[in-house]
């Protein structure tokens, strides 16, 4: 019953002579926030692109909620609810914030819907309250009529995450959601992730901000040079001498 939301087994990826991932195994428990940390070049983003279906691994397999998804391309994985946020970056520049959110909600109801159908489809009222709720929760209410290009960095990042959430994901893959944000925007986003997503939808969180990682995570995996160095509770990771030596001691903010 308590099967992992995502079970990655022995994932290997080579780029020419570089072994970007060397038999990486990691299990994302249902409802948990699982952080993936490690220095640049450790293979974190490569692992996310394997999960999202953008990169076919040279070895290993991925099981999502009990189903082997190795044969599925990125679109089919996205339709299963394996959602990587950056894909939504300013997808629809001519639509307002509100319309962008609406599109995610409508697409959630009708997975086969194309963009042309969306513009023909007028029955938006049904989602009006839900959109307002998303705008409120992600502090975007006063930006509802704005186009994405005019948003601040923080607003845009919150819209991306709100859209990902509105599309009805089963699993969220967040690759450095706090990167480039001001301290205030980062703190606000951490709170929003905590109150609106944590515990409901499992998250694989790649993040360099160690305060955020230790605040949000139920479990942490440390990667170095394409391999898993350690995996465990935040307390275990914090206490691990091996992790300290290899990674955490280099972090300014730890």
Ligand X SMILES: Nc1ncnc2c1ncn2[C@@H]1O[C@H](COP(=O)(O)OP(=O)(O)O)[C@@H](O)[C@H]1O
- Closest alpha carbon to 82 in 92, 93, 73: 73
Residue 196 interacts with, from ligand X, Mg ion, none (CB under 5-8 Å by kind): none
Residue 203 interacts with, from Mg ion, ligand X, none (CB under 5-8 Å by kind): none
Least Å distance between CB 161 and ligand X?
19
Parallel, antiparallel, or unpaired for β 67-68 and 59-64? antiparallel
Residue with tokens 């606000």: 188
- Judged by beta carbon, residue 44 or residue 156, the one nearer Mg ion is 44
Residue 129 interacts with, from Mg ion, ligand X, none (CB under 5-8 Å by kind): none
Structure tokens at 64: 């999502």
Residues in the chain: 254
- Judged by beta carbon, residue 46 or residue 167, the one nearer ligand X is 46
119 binds ligand X (CB under 6 A): no
Least Å distance between CB 195 and Mg ion?
26
Structure tokens at 220: 């942490």
Residue 20 interacts with, from Mg ion, ligand X, none (CB under 5-8 Å by kind): ligand X
SS3 label, residue 231: strand
Residue with tokens 């692992």: 47
Of 17, 40, 66, 75, the one binding ligand X by CB under 6 A: 40
Of 22, 29, 30, 41, the one binding ligand X by CB under 6 A: 41
Least Å distance between CB 253 and Mg ion?
18
Name the one range near ligand X by CB under 6 A: 41-49, 102-110, 136-144, 183-191.
41-49
DSSP state of 118: H
Structure tokens at 28: 């994302």
- Judged by beta carbon, residue 105 or residue 161, the one nearer Mg ion is 161
34 binds ligand X (CB under 6 A): no
SS3 label, residue 241: helix
Alpha helical stretches, state H, 82-140: 97-109, 115-120, 128-137
Q: Does residue 220 contact residue 231 with C-beta atoms inside 8 Å?
A: yes
Of 43, 53, 57, 202, the one binding ligand X by CB under 6 A: 43
For residue 72, how far is the Cα from the chain centroid?
19
221 binds ligand X (CB under 6 A): no
45 binds Mg ion (CB under 5 A): yes
SS3 label, residue 187: helix
Least Å distance between CB 2 and ligand X?
29
18 binds ligand X (CB under 6 A): yes
Q: Does residue 242 contact residue 43 with C-beta atoms inside 8 Å?
A: no
Least Å distance between CB 198 and Mg ion?
22
**Residue ranges in contact with Mg ion by CB under 5 A:** 44-45
């Amino acid at each position: 019953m308590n099967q992992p939301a995502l079970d990655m087994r022995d994932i290997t990826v080579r780029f020419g002579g570089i072994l970007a991932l060397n038999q990486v195994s990691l299990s994302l428990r249902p409802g948990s926030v699982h952080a993936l940390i490690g220095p640049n070049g450790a293979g974190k983003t490569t692992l996310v692109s394997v999960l999202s279906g953008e990169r076919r691994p040279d070895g290993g397999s991925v099981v999502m909620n009990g189903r082997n998804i190795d044969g599925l391309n990125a679109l089919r994985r996205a339709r299963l609810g394996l959602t990587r946020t950056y894909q939504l970056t300013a997808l629809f520049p001519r639509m307002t914030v509100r319309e962008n959110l609406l599109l995610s909600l409508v697409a959630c109801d009708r997975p086969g819907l194309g963009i042309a159908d969306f513009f023909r489809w007028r029955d938006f009222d049904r989602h009006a309250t839900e959109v307002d709720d998303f705008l409120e929760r992600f502090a975007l209410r006063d930006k509802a009529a704005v186009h994405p290009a005019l948003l601040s960095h923080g607003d845009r990042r919150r819209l991306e995450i709100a859209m990902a959430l509105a599309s009805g994901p089963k699993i969220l893959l967040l690759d450095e959601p706090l990167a480039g944000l001001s301290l205030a925007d980062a703190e606000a986003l951490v709170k929003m992730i905590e109150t609106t997503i944590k515990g409901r939808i499992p998250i694989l969180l790649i993040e360099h901000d160690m305060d955020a990682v230790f605040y949000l995570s139920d479990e942490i995996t440390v990667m170095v040079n394409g391999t898993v160095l350690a995996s465990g509770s935040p307390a275990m990771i914090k206490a691990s001498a091996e992790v300290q030596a290899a990674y955490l001691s280099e972090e300014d903010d730890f």
